Structure 1
């Protein structure tokens, strides 16, 4: 792997997981030393982060990590619902039933553990496996590329919400339903199950930050909100 690719992946993951918080200056000297590369490949990596919307120029300060806010939730979920619904339809048309049945069984097994307050890291890895399986089955490289870019911003946005065992357990059941719908080969059922899950995920994410009488979420940011995740 090229040095610029290694740097890009490392910085991207650090931003998504919050190790590089919004507003952090991505100094060339500091980051090159930290990653063990020269400044030329680092500049290439920073340019890719700017294209992803994860970094931006900040006057004389160089590059900084972009801000993220719950104000973005409605727009991101509008796009997510359209893209993931289409991906589910196409994946159902090409799905290997056994693959998705196995995933459904694993989600159902995760339900009880999540309801009891288990660490959700393995659950998040399982949702990533389902995403990968859907991406492979939908057989549309342009759709897959669009979804992968969108998921980067959604991963940052999820960190604005606290982990809720009840919601995580319900989410596992919803994912099991999606996987079973995909295994059935019915495109409309798969799309409907996906849309239902996304509706619940959006409501949970934004609803936690609404006070009495608020019609829309305030502009919470990663700098003033617990850095946890929800699905």
Structure 2
């Protein structure tokens, strides 16, 4: 892995997981020492993060981690509904049904494994990630898939703002199962509707439980 890729991956992960909080100044010298790379790779990494909207120039302060407000969350979910609803509909038309039938079966079993332990949640998020990847592949639209991947970076940060209790995770698993089932059935209108329902409930949960940083 190139030094710039290493720096980018490390900084991106730290921002997404809130180890680098909004407003944190990312000084090149400090970050190069922390990550064990020279300043040039750090500079390149910060440029990539700024392009993704995870960092921004702050006048004389240099580069800082961007914030996420409730207004930002509303805007993200507006875009998410447009992109993911269309993607689910396309996947229902273009996707391989056995792939989504298997994901549907796994998602139906997901509530049984969900509890308050971190490993269980990690497994659940990995399963949801596989559903996302299956939809990305099924839609056969590289531009739409790239737009959704870029959006998901910010959605992971948003998820960390909310209290992800077991009850909400179990409900979300059922909602994801409904999406997979509609895609497997080849029903684009139902797939889009199931996606809309999931996003509405997710947004309501984030707003009800988010903790400002």
Give the shorter-chain TM-score range. Answer: over 0.9
Alpha-carbon distance in 2 for matches of 1:104, 1:30: 46
Which whole-Å deviations, capped at 9, do the CAs of 1:55-83 have from their partners, x for residues lacking one? 11223322111111223222111110010
Counterpart of 1:7?
7
Alpha-carbon distance in 2 for matches of 1:198, 1:27: 37
Structure 2: which 5+ runs fail to align?
Answer: none
Counterpart of 2:90?
90
Alpha-carbon distance in 1 for matches of 2:117, 2:200: 24
Alpha-carbon distance in 2 for matches of 1:137, 1:207: 33
Are residues 1:100 and 2:100 paired? yes
Counterpart of 1:163?
164
Question: Displacement of 1:15 after TM fit?
Answer: 0.4
Question: Displacement of 1:27 after TM fit?
Answer: 1.3
Question: Displacement of 1:41 after TM fit?
Answer: 1.6
Q: Secondary structure at the match of 2:125?
A: helix
Which whole-Å deviations, capped at 9, do the CAs of 1:173-214 have from their partners, x for residues lacking one? 1111111111112211111111111111111111336xxxxx
Which whole-Å deviations, capped at 9, do the CAs of 1:146-167 have from their partners, x for residues lacking one? 1111111111112111112111
Counterpart of 2:16?
16
Question: Displacement of 1:113 after TM fit?
Answer: 2.8
Counterpart of 1:195?
196
Q: Which has the higher helix share?
A: 2
Q: Secondary structure at the match of 2:161?
A: coil
Q: Secondary structure at the match of 1:98?
A: helix
Question: Displacement of 1:170 after TM fit?
Answer: 0.8
Query: What is the TM-score with the length of structure 1 in the denominator?
Result: 0.86
Counterpart of 2:36?
36
CA contact (8 A) 1:110 1:172 kept: yes
Runs of 4+ in 1 over 3 A off after TM superposition: 116-119
Counterpart of 2:150?
149
Alpha-carbon distance in 1 for matches of 2:170, 2:207: 18
Q: Secondary structure at the match of 1:64?
A: strand
Counterpart of 2:26?
26
Alpha-carbon distance in 1 for matches of 2:6, 2:141: 26
Counterpart of 1:49?
49
Question: Displacement of 1:118 after TM fit?
Answer: 4.3
Are residues 1:173 and 2:174 paired? yes
Q: Which moved more, 1:52-61 or 1:80-89?
A: 52-61
Counterpart of 1:215?
none
The Cα RMSD (Å) is 1.5
Counterpart of 1:70?
70
Q: Secondary structure at the match of 1:159?
A: helix
